[in-house]
Amino acid sequence: MSKTAEAQMHGIPSRERCPLAKGLESLSALVTSGEETPDPIPSTIQGNIPSWLNGSLLRNGPGKFEFGDDKYTHWFDGMAMMHRFHISEGKVTYSSRFLQSDSYTNNLEKNRIVVSEFGTLAMPDPCKNIFARFFSRFQIPKATDNANVNFVKYNGDYYVSTETNYMRRIDPQSLNTKEKVNWTDFIAVNSATAHPHYDQDGATYNMGNSHNKNGFFYNVIRVPPPEEMRSKEDSADLTGAKVICSIRAADPRKPSYYHSFVMSENYIVFIEQPIKLDLLKFMLYRIQGKSFHKVMKWEPKLNTVFHLVNRHTGKVSDVKYLAGPMFTLHQINAYEDNGYLVMDMCCGDDGDIIADFTLENLRRSSGEEMDEFYNALCRNLPRRYVLPLTIDDQTPLDQNLVYLEKCKATARKTHTGEIFMTHEELHSDELLQYGGLEFPQINYDKHNGRPYRYFYSCGFGHVISDSLLKMDVHTKELKVWRYPGLYPSEPVFVASPGATEEDDGVVLSVIITPRKEKSTFLLVLDAKTFTELGRAEVPVNIPTGTHGVFNAMG
């Protein structure tokens, strides 16, 4: 691709660069309530599950979309359903449970939706008199504990989490729900993301927010490794967690939405993107009868701001790093290289996409109706941004400061203490045939925060992922697993015992088969060749999920 064509491509929305889809099938079966399988059931094995692969793939996601006559509006609202594929000596069993959150049990008891979620507002109790119903609208609703996004680890324990101040501790073997954990009991934050990072020493880092009379703040959180915590009992314990850095929001009335953050070996980067939360509307949304996602607004006239933090000292860089408007949910990886911080992320050009994932949209009919919805969506693509780490008064103005070999990202000093960056497209045109990508994963244990070559992700030739991809970031070459009618989950990499090469291992993904009843299967791919080794089929239907982890301890 010529430099001129590449420069022009930066300004073209990703939806316009990807081929239009035609004749897409309905996804209703993928967003239909599932049923629990609390006792492990055996699977039918095809091919070969490596004998060295022992442990459990734990998955989370929305799994129940109605109570009585009440129905959720948005996919993110479904009650958390946890899944476990346990692998031992070439055999696989499956089990699942609904998270016994307060939200779930209260809704179940009342047989209606009584707790508001991201896209669904719980209505007042119809049994109350008209005055009680009226005044209940003026009460600020409590945050949900419907932790349906991810499995995470703190202090050696597994939790399920979402984006509120609540998590739930989980027994990773039985999937039993344990105690509810409130971040505010341990640290002065109002929430935390469902995508923490883990360093080589076992500490966990996350982002939360807080607000007071001095403004709205984004906070970097550190939870110590287990050996630094107090003597461990069988209870949730985040004692020792602390805020190591607070970043003031550019506009305290309209802070940015964020889903994750960037971490390298020595730095954390918080991305203040132009998806804004209107706090005034947030306070009034119950009175107005609007759900939470209605207070989010994409403001593409604003730049994206990258806040660079030394994660050892908590010091925020005086340099202001800027880029054009973009939207990101998930980091791929970040690392330092000869005085630069290289950040790879899945990015899009339209932050309104979050609000588009209503159940009404996802359940559109096959053909023209679904095609129209999908073709209007933003496609997320992998991008590389490079932050020069050594900036001072002598740094020249309006000159590209990125000298990394073969790197097309740029960074220019435009004012004192201000750097404006443009990204490198971290893919070839081949990726556009698969509709962009999301849910990126790497060999995390060995390469998180360090130089790397490969990542694995889902391709989005449909509204829900319909392929698995392996990307070589050195050559931008792709390997693909894709079959019509099969819908994979986020790929999870597991290294082979004693592996010395980055991609020596397997990739695990749960495949949903809406064209065939009760034939969900766990797919095992050779990570190096991206060819199928085996699959473990179980006679269940499960809804499409979000994130998960591999628990090597079983």
- Strand partners for 538: 520
For CA atoms 378, 380, 384, 387, the dihedral sign is: positive
Per-residue model confidence (pLDDT) at position 136: 39
Q: How confident is the model at residue 287 (pLDDT cuts 50, 70, 90)?
A: low
Burial class (CB in 10 A: 0-12, 13-18, 19+), 328: buried
Q: If you average pLDDT over residues 260-281, what whole number do you get? A: 93
Tell me which residue has tokens 């989010």. 296
Reported as a single tens digit per residue, the pLDDT across 537-548 is 999 999 999 999
The alpha carbon of 236 is separated from its chain's Cα centroid by a whole number of angstroms, namely 24
Non-local CB neighbours of 7 within 8 Å, separated by 6+ positions = none
Quote the pLDDT of residue 320: 96
Compute the distance between CA of residue 490 and CA of residue 478 in angstroms, rounded to an integer.
17
pLDDT mean across residues, the chain: 91
Query: pLDDT of 301-324, one tens digit each?
Result: 999 999 999 999 999 999 999 999
Section 139-154 average pLDDT: 86
Query: With contact defined as beta carbons under 8 Å apart, do 148 and 62 qualify?
Result: yes
* CB neighbour list of residue 545: distance below 8 Å, 6 or more residues apart: 59, 60, 61, 62, 63, 81, 83, 489, 490, 510
pLDDT at 494 over 50: yes
Look at residue 354 in the predicted model and tell me its pLDDT: 85
Q: How far apart are CA 326 and CA 113, in angstroms?
A: 35
Higher pLDDT, 229 or 378: 378
CA dihedral (147, 149, 154, 159) positive or negative: positive
Give the residue-averaged pLDDT of 281-295: 65
Q: Tell how far CA 105 is from the center of its chain.
A: 26
* Two tokens, residue 553: 């301890």
Statement: residue 46 has pLDDT above 60: yes
- Tens digits of residue pLDDT in 47-79: 999 999 999 999 999 999 999 999 999 999 999
Tokens found for residue 179: 């105690």
pLDDT reported for residue 283: 67
Closest CA to 267 of 502, 450, 458, 65: 450
Is-contact 59 548, C-beta < 8 A? yes
